[in-house]
Every structure is written in structure tokens, then in C-alpha cells.
Amino acid sequence: MASTPIPASVLEQHPHWVLAIKRGLLNKQQIDEALAVHQSVAKLGVKKTLDEILVQKKYITPEQLRQLMEEMKPA
């Protein structure tokens, strides 16, 4: 079964994930899992960002996330 790509709209909202994937810090499966958790907790009224979920699941460290976000800032 072919793997579906991460929706472009999601990557547009989280361009730092593209950089994280290129560097091997995250993979599609981890992002898919975070998206599923995000949808599940949202149905329960819990507001968590996808980045918070990735950190909570220990897929990426807070420091790695901070560095990626810093690199994505316009010069």
C-alpha cells in the first residue's frame, strides 16, 4: 500500500518540519501520528499544538524545535 504524502497545507503551516525531515529529525510516520493525536485531543476539547505533541511524544526535543524555528525566521 502506497504511503500518502503529508498534506501540503500542513507543511505550509509548519515549514520547519520540512527542514526537520531533511535532517532526519522527524519522519512522515511521526508527523502522521502527531496529526492523529491532534485530531483526537481536539475532539475532547484539548488544545495542543502539533509541535507540542511532537515534543511530548519525544520525537523531537524542545531545543531541536527551537533551533528549527530560529532557522526559519526571515533574515
Write down the pLDDT at residue 2.
52
Hey, where are the domains in the chain?
A: 9-72
Query: Which tens digits make up the pLDDT trace of 44-53?
Result: 999 999 999 9
Query: Which tens digits make up the pLDDT trace of 13-70?
Result: 888 888 999 999 999 999 999 999 999 999 999 999 999 999 999 999 999 999 998 9
Which are the contacts of 25, defined by CB distance < 8 A and separation ≥ 6? 60, 64, 68
DSSP string, the chain: -PPPPPPHHHHHH-HHHHHHHHTTS--HHHHHHHHHHHHHHHHTT----HHHHHHHTTSS-HHHHHHHHHHHS--
Note the pTM of the prediction, 2 decimals: 0.82
Write down the pLDDT at residue 12.
82
